[in-house]
Structure 1
């Protein structure tokens, strides 16, 4: 069955366009806010009180770039699970943008004129993200139906295989979200609270490559079904939870002044990172349980837009017609109803 090239359908183009327009509007609004505060008298970003704005700008630059890459990746792989993950990510961005209004107001409490000047720009961001979120929901619904046939060709009509493949897709999506959240927490700590001549600064910097290696290792292990590497990854996921001792420091009377202007954002990111890591561990255990059950071929030869024909579990080569065995359990000797091939 032929597959349209990437971005060849109205729903795909609209999905990417919405994210691109949102990114431009939001980053322009944040940049105007940042510039207005940066040129104000008696305000310096070296003061912990005002570091919330450079932190806000850095996180949203990272978030918008990450979301765009996630969108192209989801469309390239025909991955409905990742599209749903993008909707969840969009909701998290909405919460973060709303929190930043409160934190910026607290930081500029002694500069009311400046606050009233930048307030409209701060309000535009969550409004734009919210509107984009509803629009993305509509087009995810269209893409859900558009990509349904692709999943069938990867794993067939066997419900058990389809369920295992969906858990695999959830695992990969969670690993990508873990990457963003961990980098987001680390970036905020580096910008907001740490001095570069402390041991804590060095440990925080070292956490970035360690986290990347852990997530890449877990993704490789779950795709190739390497049990030893997957076991190590799962153990390290549990060990990484000790990183969240910093929640205590955010509210410790001895250090809370350092975190005061960004405490709500850091707390939100840290809690979300911990929940995501636990979820990744749980789904990872389920994927580990599914190893050696005939799914690895589908993981290694998933759906992309580059081929004229979708790869299938029968390993057809581009240009060959998909021919199902009439006695196969997938078809039960009868024709398949195309209306039942979408992801349930």
Structure 2
């Protein structure tokens, strides 16, 4: 009985260590993805996306803290089996602890910057939408929905990639279905963004039904991760998978709610504001240049005022 148990613990440690490497790589990808979203938020002057990035950073902070215990378990099993040097954990623990500390400091700085940007972006929205409060609320709902789609993409794919790594039975139908979920997810989210811009009611209904299907999928995965018959398959990465699944389920509920609110705002005058052509931007730029030329005839103090 000792040999099978030893083989099981060895296999458990290898899978856990592999999953740990993947999750650390996924955390690095998360920060790169955040960097792209920061540029996108500043380009679009999307206050909601900036706030969402602060919340996402808090999520990555929790995710990094979770990895410390998971890596400790993997190193412990490998040490017992004489696979690695016993001093490995003592050498790596300080670096693993410093990761969430640095992320926490970065999150605090992001919150301060987000607070400073709020007034600047609010003025831009005022110039873009005008003083119509109802139209501003509709535009705000649209901004929330688009921001949610961008965060959905990361957490959907993050969960799927982790799941693919721990699935050891490649002949099971669940494995190819999980792989197929990655491109399908990307297509669905891209279509969701296009359909809300075009105010397609039937298309949005189809997208919302797909959101409910995604919710059922993640609930099914959660049940399998804790069911007595299948929990052993997910044990090496159950902690991080549960974190991603719960965050994704919360995002799906928020996305469905905002999708319904966006549908309620269809055909009420918002579409021209979110589908401006390049020609209008170029015309606005030309008008700005003409204004600057005309202003060049007045004193510099008047220009500054």
Q: Normalising by structure 2, what TM-score?
A: 0.83
Paired residues for 1:314-333 under 5 Å: 317-320=284-287
In the other structure, the counterpart of 2:54 is 87
In the other structure, the counterpart of 1:299 is 274
User: Residue 172 of structure 1: CA displacement?
Assistant: 0.2
Q: Which has the higher helix share?
A: 2
- Runs of 4+ residues over 6 Å off in structure 1: 42-46
In the other structure, the counterpart of 1:289 is 264
Check conservation: 2:14, 2:74, Cα contact below 8 A: no
Report whether the alignment pairs 1:116 with 2:73: no
What is the rounded CA distance, in whole Å, between the counterparts of 1:50 and 1:268 in structure 2? 18
User: Residue 155 of structure 1: CA displacement?
Assistant: 0.8
Check conservation: 2:22, 2:162, Cα contact below 8 A: yes
Check conservation: 1:48, 1:193, Cα contact below 8 A: no
SS at match of 1:54: helix
In the other structure, the counterpart of 2:211 is 237
What is the rounded CA distance, in whole Å, between the counterparts of 2:168 and 2:47 in structure 1? 39
Unpaired runs of 5+ in structure 1?
A: 1-41, 322-344
In the other structure, the counterpart of 1:341 is none
In the other structure, the counterpart of 2:197 is 223
What is the rounded CA distance, in whole Å, between the counterparts of 2:13 and 2:165 in structure 1? 9
What is the rounded CA distance, in whole Å, between the counterparts of 1:290 and 1:194 in structure 2? 47
In the other structure, the counterpart of 2:130 is 156
Aligned residue pairs total: 273
What is the rounded CA distance, in whole Å, between the counterparts of 2:227 and 2:87 in structure 1? 32
What is the rounded CA distance, in whole Å, between the counterparts of 1:55 and 1:250 in structure 2? 19
Change in CA separation of 1:224 and 1:209 when aligned onto 2, cut-off 3 Å: same
User: Residue 216 of structure 1: CA displacement?
Assistant: 0.8
1:277-307 superposed Cα distances (whole Å, 9 cap, x missing partner): 11100000000000000001111139xxx99
User: Residue 43 of structure 1: CA displacement?
Assistant: 7.8
In the other structure, the counterpart of 1:264 is 239
Report whether the alignment pairs 1:53 with 2:20: yes
What is the rounded CA distance, in whole Å, between the counterparts of 1:190 and 1:232 in structure 2? 27
In the other structure, the counterpart of 2:181 is 207
Paired residues for 1:91-106 under 5 Å: 91-106=58-73
1:230-260 superposed Cα distances (whole Å, 9 cap, x missing partner): 1111111112222120111211223222222
In the other structure, the counterpart of 2:222 is 247
What is the rounded CA distance, in whole Å, between the counterparts of 1:141 and 1:107 in structure 2? 41
SS at match of 2:285: coil
User: Residue 142 of structure 1: CA displacement?
Assistant: 1.5
Q: Normalising by structure 1, what TM-score?
A: 0.74
In the other structure, the counterpart of 1:274 is 249
| Structure with bigger gyration radius | 2
User: Residue 194 of structure 1: CA displacement?
Assistant: 3.9
What is the rounded CA distance, in whole Å, between the counterparts of 1:62 and 1:213 in structure 2? 20
In the other structure, the counterpart of 1:69 is 36
What is the rounded CA distance, in whole Å, between the counterparts of 1:195 and 1:296 in structure 2? 48
1:2-45 superposed Cα distances (whole Å, 9 cap, x missing partner): xxxxxxxxxxxxxxxxxxxxxxxxxxxxxxxxxxxxxxxx9889
In the other structure, the counterpart of 1:191 is 165
Q: RMSD across aligned C-alpha pairs, in angstroms? A: 2.4
Identify which of structures 1 and 2 has the higher relative contact order when contacts are C-alpha pairs closer than 8 Å and 6+ apart.
1
